[in-house]
Amino acid sequence: MTFHTARKRFGQNFLHDHGIIYHLFASIQASTTDHWVEIGPGLGALTEPLLKAKLNLDVVELDRDLVALLERKFIDYPNLRIHSADALRFDFTALAAGEKLRVIGNLPYNISTPLMFHLLANAHCFQDMHFMLQKEVVDRICAGPGSKKYGRLSVMMSYYCSTEWLFDVPPESFDPAPKVMSAIVRLVPHSQPPVQVNDVKLLNRVVTEAFSQRRKTLRNALKKIIDEETINALGIDASLRPENISLSEFAKLTLSLEKMLDSTAAI
């Protein structure tokens, strides 16, 4: 039997529910021609069925004790490569080598959002991603305009990929059990962005500014960077709250701000 004490500093909650593991494995529709990457394999609960399906698999694990454990546990699997590394700094593009990667992982809640954006910065390298996250985060990722859960994460994720909630995972499926419900989300990077912006960082700035005080109207939330007259001239109602503004409308605002910044810089 394998023993390892979960470490809070690594955000470790180990999946042990075989019913959930089976459901997830059935959902990913894995093929032996796929190149898989697992982030945070932990004790290998997902790693094992992936290897037994004869999949080409790389795993990235930060905890060196777990790396040693995985090396011992899966010593007989030549289709596995274990990387002792921080996923937030790992170069996933180096694994792609001209092919699309498929990613899976039970992500530590404390780094899930920055890690997803780290991956999506090189979205062209990935076919899809399946992540177990805090349910609240999955709800925000998948929310659309008009929802109270719609915010910066919803908008920016929809720029990079299509999103799909698959199913919820209760706390008792983990050891130790977290205090919150989890859920599985599927992210499929767009082959082409759904809207045109020349500067994604500027889009992020506009969206972040808009949702910094989400109860404010758009005219008040963005008054430091875009005036009300400009917003209305774009065909966007400045009296609406940011939660009612679509990705395409945020793109219009970004392009308008970009032109304004360019003209100011040219003076």
| C-alpha distances in Å from residue 147, one per residue of 126, 139, 160, 165, 212 | 29, 10, 20, 15, 16
Question: For residue 62, is it within any domain?
Answer: yes
Question: For residue 194, is it within any domain?
Answer: no
Residue 129: enclosing H or E segment and its boundaries? Answer: strand 126-134
Count of domains observed in the chain: 2
Shared domain check, 94 and 208? no
Decide which of 169, 189, 209 is a domain's last residue: 189
Query: What CATH number is attached to the domain comprising 226?
Result: 1.10.8.100
**Residue 175: partners with Cβ closer than 8 Å, 6 or more residues away:** 6, 13, 14, 16
For residue 261, the enclosing domain spans 200-266
Per-residue pLDDT of the chain (267 residues; tens, 9 = 90+): 355 554 444 445 778 899 999 999 999 999 999 999 999 998 999 999 999 999 999 999 999 999 999 999 999 999 999 999 999 999 999 999 889 999 999 888 888 999 999 999 999 999 999 999 999 999 999 999 999 999 999 999 999 999 999 999 999 998 778 789 999 999 999 999 999 999 999 999 999 999 998 889 999 999 999 999 999 999 999 999 999 999 999 999 999 999 998 877 655
Q: What is the pLDDT of residue 12?
A: 56
Contact 100, 126 (CB under 8 A): yes
Q: What is the pLDDT of residue 198?
A: 94
Contact 222, 206 (CB under 8 A): yes
Q: What is the pLDDT of residue 6?
A: 46
Shared domain check, 180 and 56? yes
Shared domain check, 139 and 18? yes
Question: For residue 177, is it within any domain?
Answer: yes
Q: What is the pLDDT of residue 132?
A: 94
Q: What is the pLDDT of residue 164?
A: 98
**How many alpha carbons lie under 13 Å from residue 98 in its C-beta half-sphere?**
0
User: What does pTM read for this prediction?
Assistant: 0.90
